[in-house]
Amino acid sequence: MVQIWQSGHWPNFVYDHAAVEPYLAQAMHTLGEVQGVHAGIGPDDLAELHRMQIVQEALASFEIEGVSLNQDEIEASVIASIKHREGAAISRRTDAIVSLMVAARNMNAPVTEQHLCDWHRLLFYGIEVENLGMWRGFDIEIVRSATAGSHDVLYKAPPPDLVPGHMRDFVVWLRDEATLPVPIRAAIAHLWFESIHPFSDGNGRIGRALIEAVFAASRPLPFSFSRQIEKEKLCYYAALQAGRQEGRGGIDATPFVIWFLQSLTRAADAGREEAMYLVRRNHFFARHRAALNPRQHKALTVIFEQGAERVALGLSAKSYRKIAKTTAPTATRDLVALESAGVLRRSAAGGRSTRYVILY
């Protein structure tokens, strides 16, 4: 099977402007809505959102590859990175991973070959990996599964002797291209990078960091895009394959660009809701903090940490008792006090099935 990099059109990625335009308009509109919400958020809330997004991006980008990171360690590394800025010491792999995420999100210069190789070293800090921090020295195939036979090869990347030249062309394009809308530029950059697959391992994670870097040169993404990609991982891989076909006098990236914009819109929708939830949560505690005893504060904090869907479920005397680790009479008194203070509203059902709606 002839690979796309063997085509005379390589690496001329093109797309159907008319087909893409409505998806681009929707993505730009939704991005603007998220940025508008962020513009009205106070500095403390905004800092918390940014911390959350870096954590989410790291966890999700690894989860796409079937690798689970320790969330507590990632959160600690994010806090250390923000606290010490450029002077943060790297003492464990999560520190290095967060350094990569922060570097991509804060990129304000064209991405170079050196940046990409540095990211590769950070990605595999403390781990033995072939060709660490340099282009791969062997052939690589993308297969349907780890046990696939030759008939299940989905894509063969360029041989190692061609990778340096392909990457030089790629970073020159990244540096000089200035006409494409940023979301389309990010989509094509990701598709092109993944089609070269320049590293021995970690190409997907670095390719997704590259998306962050392309946006950051204009304005950083105000949410984690990898979290959305992880939710639709199979469609992501299918879209990458669909975007590697000849057509329209070049390599027709239209299917991938459309999927990318649709997924970006969904990610922005989720990011907007998340930002609004965080603001409402913080306002809730600021408004009621003086009225809450330690048990009440603990129970409500636990519920809010589980997200908007959990908050919408409210709580019962049984669930409150379990979270607060208290007795039934104390739980009843606490809930009645919260209702009197306007923190909760009793639902219509009575008796043992009584639930309380959280008024936030």
What is the fold of 292-358? Answer: Arc Repressor Mutant, subunit A (1.10.10)
pTM of the predicted model, to two decimals? 0.90
Rounded Cα distance between 226 and 97, Å, is 14
Residue 85 banded pLDDT, cuts 50, 70, 90 = low
Taken in order 244, 245, 248, 251, the sign of the CA dihedral is: positive
Residue 140's identity, in one-letter code, is I
Q: How far is CA 349 from CA 109, 120, 352, 354, in A?
A: 59, 57, 9, 5
Over range 266-293, report the average pLDDT: 94
Over range 85-94, report the average pLDDT: 74
The segment(s) of the chain belonging to CATH 1.10.10.10 are: 292-358
Residue 318 near residue 311 (C-beta atoms within 8 A)? no
pLDDT tens digits along 12-34? 999 999 999 999 999 999 999 99
Rounded Cα distance between 116 and 113, Å, is 5
What is the fold of 4-277? Answer: Fic-like fold (1.10.3290)
Residue 147 banded pLDDT, cuts 50, 70, 90 = low
* Average pLDDT of every residue of the chain: 93
In this prediction, residue 88 carries a pLDDT of: 60
Residue 42 banded pLDDT, cuts 50, 70, 90 = confident
Rounded Cα distance between 277 and 254, Å, is 35
The segment(s) of the chain belonging to CATH 1.10.3290.10 are: 4-277
Residue 128 banded pLDDT, cuts 50, 70, 90 = very high
Question: Which residues contact residue 275 at a Cβ distance below 8 angstroms, ignoring those fewer than 6 apart?
Answer: 34, 37, 38, 41, 49, 222
What angle do helix axes 203-216 and 113-123 make, rounded to 10 degrees? 130
Region at 311 (left for phi over 0; alpha for psi -120 to 50; beta for the rest): alpha
pLDDT tens digits along 206-248? 999 999 999 999 999 999 999 999 999 999 999 999 999 999 8
Decide the pairing of beta strands 141-143 and 153-156.
antiparallel
CA nearest neighbour of 92 among 115, 63, 69, 117:
69
In this prediction, residue 354 carries a pLDDT of: 85
Residue 250: its H or E element: strand 250-252
pLDDT tens digits along 53-80? 999 999 999 999 999 999 999 999 999 8
Residue-wise over 242-277: b if at least 16 C-beta within 10 A, else e?
Answer: bbbeeeeebbbbbbbbbbbbbbbbbbbebbbebbeb
Rounded Cα distance between 191 and 185, Å, is 10
